[in-house]
């Protein structure tokens, strides 16, 4: 379907820009707390190679938990179905850094998109690769078609210093024998994965691979099978917004992932990937304006997976 996305994005941007949102910029680390709350950008890339963007769509931000989808993809590519012995595929219905369910379920995280699940994925990558920091970044650069994508070492160090809940999660899992490597090494990879910086343009183009059945649009190379892409999309849909996954699905109707840097990326299989950035978050840790924009986008275009 051909749509005038440029016109739609510009219209939505201006409508949503002025809606009072009442959200709060992520307070966890100074690097995120100091971001200008009024930043707002959107970019949509299609599987046909078309590009549409508006606002601060070329400015880089911390993708945070959106990176969990990329590390999951590399681990799934390497391990196949054996991956699910270590981490489940059920929505958690709990906040992204919740502890109690993990103890109750004996250290096996509900899914790979909550913090505990993403930490297990990083443990698996630490076992698979001699230099997981290098190999994960090389993988992200490959699917994004962009050799400039990088970690932000200051953001990673700051999170590591202040990540007390994540330290509790990994220690609990280690005590349940679901972490094989040194805690420090695993957390170093986890925090670097969260510190990756991308603009909306880069994020949308990176996530096109999930809209394109696992093939990189620019090169045609298959990084995962179409069945794997389908499964990752299903996990994004059911788990990508933590305890707001139902509401997000209800309002937006596209597989997507949020991060506490204020980014959200969503994909329409076979069609497009769209990334929005607005740093103010709701109480569940998801960008307020990002959700609003995607809700109206799918309503207006009639394009959702449902």
Q: Which residues bind ligand GLN (CB under 6 A)?
A: 64-65, 96-97, 115, 159, 166, 194, 259-260, 285
Angle between helices 183-195 and 132-144 (to 10 degrees): 20
DSSP 8-state code for residue 83: G
Nearer to ligand GLN, 10 or 247 (CB): 247
Nearest approach, Cβ of residue 40 and ligand GLN (Å): 18
Question: Cβ 28 to ligand GLN, closest distance in Å?
Answer: 6
Smaller CB separation from ligand GLN, 46 or 98? 98
**Of 23 and 259, which has the nearer Cβ to ligand GLN?**
259
Least separation, in Å, of the C-beta of 290 and ligand GLN?
13
Alpha carbons 37 and 277: distance in angstroms, whole number: 10
CB count within 10 Å of CB 261 equals 28
Q: Return the number of the residue (213 or 289) whose C-beta is nearest ligand GLN.
A: 289
32 or 75, CB closer to ligand GLN?
A: 32
**What is the SS3 assignment for 267?**
strand
CB neighbours of 73 closer than 8 A, spacing ≥ 6? 139, 143, 209, 223, 224, 228, 232
We find the least distance from the C-beta atom of residue 158 to ligand GLN, in angstroms, to be 10
Helix, strand, coil abundance in the chain, percent, nearest 5: 50, 10, 35
Q: How far is the CB of 145 from ligand GLN (least distance, A)?
A: 24
């Amino acid at each position: 379907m051909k749509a005038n996305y440029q016109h739609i994005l510009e219209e939505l941007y201006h409508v949503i820009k002025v809606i009072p949102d009442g959200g709060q910029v992520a307070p966890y680390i100074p690097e995120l707390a100091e971001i200008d709350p009024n930043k707002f950008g959107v970019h949509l890339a299609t599987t046909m190679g078309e590009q549409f963007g508006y606002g601060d769509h070329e400015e880089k931000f911390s993708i945070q938990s959106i990176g969990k989808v990329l590390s999951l993809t590399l681990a799934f590519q390497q391990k196949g179905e054996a991956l699910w012995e270590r981490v489940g595929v059920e929505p958690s219905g709990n906040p992204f850094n919740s502890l109690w369910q993990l103890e109750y379920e004996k250290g096996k995280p509900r899914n790979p998109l909550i913090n505990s699940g993403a930490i297990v994925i990083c443990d698996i990558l630490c076992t698979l690769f001699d230099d997981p920091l290098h190999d994960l970044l090389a993988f992200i650069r490959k699917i994004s078609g962009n050799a400039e994508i990088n970690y932000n070492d200051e953001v990673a160090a700051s999170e590591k210093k202040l990540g007390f809940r994540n330290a509790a999660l990994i220690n609990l899992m280690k005590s349940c024998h679901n972490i094989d490597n040194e805690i420090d090494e695993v957390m170093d990879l986890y925090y670097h994965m969260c510190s990756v910086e991308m603009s909306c343009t880069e994020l949308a183009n990176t996530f096109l691979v999930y809209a394109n059945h696992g093939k990189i649009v620019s090169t045609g190379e298959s990084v995962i099978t179409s069945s794997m892409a389908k499964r990752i999309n299903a996990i994004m849909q059911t788990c990508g917004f933590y305890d707001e996954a139902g509401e997000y699905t209800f309002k937006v109707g596209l597989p997507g992932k949020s991060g506490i840097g204020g980014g959200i990326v969503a994909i329409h299989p076979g069609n497009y990937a769209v990334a929005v950035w607005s740093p103010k978050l709701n109480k569940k840790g998801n960008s307020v304006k990002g959700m609003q924009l995607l809700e109206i986008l799918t309503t207006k275009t009639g394009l959702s997976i449902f």
